[in-house]
Amino acid sequence: MTTTKTVQPPKPPAGGGGLGNAAKTVLRSRWIGPVGLFLGAIAPILIATPYAMNVMTSALIFVMLAVGLNIVVGQCGLLDLGYAAFFAVGAYTSGILATRLHWPLLATIPAVIVVTVLAGIVVGGPTLRLRSDYLAIVTLGFGEIIRVTANNLSITGGPEGIYGIPSLSVAGVDLSNSVVFYYVVLVIVAAAVLGANRLIRSRLGRAWRFIREDEDAAEAMGVHTYRVKMAAYIAGAVWGGLAGVLFGAQLSAISPASFTFLQSALVLMAVVLGGMGSTPGVVIGALFVTMLPEALRGLSDYRYFAFGALLIIVMVLRPQGLWPARTREPARTARRSATFDGEVRIR
C-alpha cells in the first residue's frame, strides 16, 4: 500500500543566537572531547612526579568506570548500587589469567569481555524484567557477593588477593614506566569515553533515554525494553571490567578491599555530581571525586569530611550537576528539506 500526500512546506529552522553564543556552544560541545584529551596529554608535562602520575592514572581509570555506569544509570535510568562488582570481575579475571596461566595482560582482554558480558547477563537477566527499585537491591547484593566470594576463594587469593600482575606490554615493549603507562591509559580511556558517547548519540542510546523517561511509552513505540536495558547493563559491565584490567595493571596487585560498596557509591556519586547522562559532566564528576580528596590531603583526617561537605555544597548550588546534559540538535539543512519537502510516504 502506498499513499502519497502533500503537507505544508516546512518552516525555516529556528535561528541561532549571536556569534559569541555560537562560539560558546561549539566550545562547550563539539570541541570538548579534543580539548579534554589535550589537557590530559599535557598534564604530565606540568607535574610528572611518580605520585602525581599515580593519582592521575587512577583518576583516568575512575573516569572509565563513571562513563560506563553513566550508560546504566544516567542514560537508561537503572540504579546500579553494585557497579564495583564488574570492576572486580574484570580485574580478577585478567589478574588470574595473567598470574596463574601467564597470559600477557592484553590477551586477557577478550576473556574479560566474555566474562563481564556473562556476569551482566546473569545479574541483569532476571532483574531487568522487574521495576528498577528491585535492580538497586539485587545489584547491591551482587556487589557484596562478588567481594565476599573473592575474599573466600583460593583462586582469587583470599583476603590478600592477587599480586605480581604484569604491567601492560605491547610486542615485548614494557609500558610500566609511570608516565608511559599514564599515556597508554589516557588513550584507552579516551577511546572508552568516545565509544560510550557515540553509543549514547545513536538509535540505541536514544532508546536508553526513552526507557529512562517512560518505559511504557518506549514499549509502545516498539522499543523492546528488556533487551535494550540488557544492552545498557552489558555495556556498563564491559566498561567496568576493562577498567578493572587497567586497575590491575596499574597496581600489580588487587584485593577484595578495592571493590567495596564505597567504591560503587563513589562511581555513582561521580555520575550524579557530573549531571546524570552528560558525558563531559560525568568525566568532570569523576575527576572531581578522585582528585579532590588528594587536593584535601593537607587536612589529613578531616579530608573526607571536607570532601563530603563540598559535595553537599555543590549539589545544593547545582542540583542539576556540574555539567548537565544538553542537547545539540542538528539543524535541518535546506537540501534535506528540499529532498523531503511536501512528500509523506507510508509503506
Partner 1 sequence: MSALLDVADLHLAFGGVKAVDGLSFQVHEAEIVSVIGPNGAGKTSAFNCITGFYRATSGAITIAGTDVTRLRPSAVAARGVSRTFQNVRLFGDLPVLDNVRAGTHLWLRQNVFDALLHTPRYRRTEQVATDEAHRWLDFVGLRADRTGPARALPYGEQRRVEIARALARHPKLLLLDEPAAGLNHNEKLELLELIRRIRDLGIAIVLIEHDMGLVMEVSQRVVVLNFGREIADGSPEAVRRDPAVIEAYLGSDDEPAAETGDHEPATATGDGERPTETRDGERVAETGDGEPSGEIDREAGADA
Q: Which residues bind partner 1 (CB under 8 A)?
A: 1-3, 5, 7-11, 14, 195, 198-199, 201-207, 209-210, 213-214, 216-225, 327, 329-330, 332, 336-337, 339-340, 344, 346-347
> What's the CA gap between 30 and 13, in Å, rounded?
20
Q: How far is the CB of 169 from partner 1 (least distance, A)?
A: 26
| Residue 168 contacts residue 181 (beta carbons within 8 Å) | yes
Q: How far is the CB of 159 from partner 1 (least distance, A)?
A: 39
Query: Which is closer to partner 1, CB of 215 or CB of 294?
Result: 215
Q: How far is the CB of 90 from partner 1 (least distance, A)?
A: 20
| Residue 237 contacts residue 86 (beta carbons within 8 Å) | yes
Which amino acid, residue 50?
Answer: P
- The residue behind cell 558480558 is 117
Closest Cα partner for 291 from 53, 45, 51, 59? 59
Q: Which residues of 299-319 are buried (b: 16+ CB within 10 A; e: fewer)?
A: eeeebeeebeeebeebeeeee
Query: Which is closer to partner 1, CB of 40 or CB of 77?
Result: 77
Q: How far is the CB of 209 from partner 1 (least distance, A)?
A: 6
Length of the chain: 347
**Backbone conformation region of residue 337, classed left if phi is above 0, alpha if psi is from -120 to 50, else beta:** alpha
Query: Which is closer to partner 1, CB of 67 or CB of 218?
Result: 218
Query: Which is closer to partner 1, CB of 300 or CB of 339?
Result: 339
Query: Which is closer to partner 1, CB of 147 or CB of 212?
Result: 212
Write out 91-152 in H/E/C secondary structure: HHHHHHHHHHCCCCHHHHHHHHHHHHHHHHHHHHHHHCCCCHHHHHHHHHHHHHHHHHHHHH
Q: Which residues of 187-226 are buried (b: 16+ CB within 10 A; e: fewer)?
A: ebbbebbeebbebbeeebbebbbbbbeebeebeeeebebe
> What's the CA gap between 256 and 143, in Å, rounded?
11
Query: Which is closer to partner 1, CB of 73 or CB of 165?
Result: 73
* Helix, strand, or coil (residue 333): coil
Neighbouring C-alpha atoms within 13 Å toward the C-beta of 113: 5
CB contact set of 189 (below 8 Å; sequence gap of 6+): 60, 61, 63, 64, 246
Query: Which is closer to partner 1, CB of 206 or CB of 303?
Result: 206
Q: How far is the CB of 194 from partner 1 (least distance, A)?
A: 9
Q: How far is the CB of 226 from partner 1 (least distance, A)?
A: 8
Q: How far is the CB of 196 from partner 1 (least distance, A)?
A: 10
Q: How far is the CB of 93 from partner 1 (least distance, A)?
A: 23
Query: Which is closer to partner 1, CB of 114 or CB of 153?
Result: 114
Q: How far is the CB of 279 from partner 1 (least distance, A)?
A: 14
Neighbouring C-alpha atoms within 13 Å toward the C-beta of 238: 18
Query: Which is closer to partner 1, CB of 1 or CB of 42?
Result: 1
| Residue 104 contacts residue 98 (beta carbons within 8 Å) | yes
